[in-house]
Amino acid sequence: MKTLADLKKIREKAQEEMKLRGGNVRMKIVVGMGTSGIAMGAREVMKTFLEEISNRSLTDVLVTQTGEKGLSSMEPVVDVIEDGKDKITYGNMSPEKVKKVVVEHIVNGRIVSEYVVATGN
C-alpha cells in the first residue's frame, strides 16, 4: 500500500534534483479535455503523455488539462508551449502519435509537422 511516507522520499529525491538543475519548467503540454475531446479519446492521450513522462523521467515537463478550444473537428487537440517559442498545436492525436511527439518534439526539440494543425497564438 502506498503511504504518505513514500511521498516524503519522492520529495527529497526531487529536491535534490532541482538543486542540480535549477528547477525550471522547460515545456508545458496542454491537453484539450472538452466534451468532444473526451469523446474522441483525449483521456487516452492524456494518459499516454503521463506514462511517457514517467517512463522517461522527464522532470522538467508539465502536463495539464483544459476545456474546449474551438477545434472540435480535430480533437483530441494538444498544445506544446515552450518559453520564447511559438505555441504548437497538434490535432487528431492518438496514443501512438503522442509517443512520437514525446520522442521527437519534447525530448529532441524537433516539431512533428505532419500532426501540427496550428501554430502561434
Residues at the interface with another protein (CB under 8 A):
1-2, 4, 6-8, 10-11, 13-15, 18, 23, 25, 31, 33-35, 38-39, 43-44, 46-47, 50, 53-59, 61-65, 67-68, 70, 72
What would the grid cell of residue 74 be? 480535430
Number of H helices and E strands in the chain, helices first, is 4, 5
**In the complex, minimum distance from the CB of residue 108 to another protein, in angstroms, rounded to a whole number:** 18
**In the complex, minimum distance from the CB of residue 6 to another protein, in angstroms, rounded to a whole number:** 6
**In the complex, minimum distance from the CB of residue 86 to another protein, in angstroms, rounded to a whole number:** 22
- Could you give the strand order of the β-sheet that contains 61-66, starting from the edge strand earlier in sequence? 61-66, 27-32, 78-82, 88-90, 116-119
Cβ-based nearer residue to another protein, 57 or 121? 57
**Which DSSP string do the residues of 79-121 spell out, in sequence order?**
EEEETTS--EEE-S--HHHHHHHIIIIIIT----GGGEEEE--
Cβ-based nearer residue to another protein, 20 or 114? 20
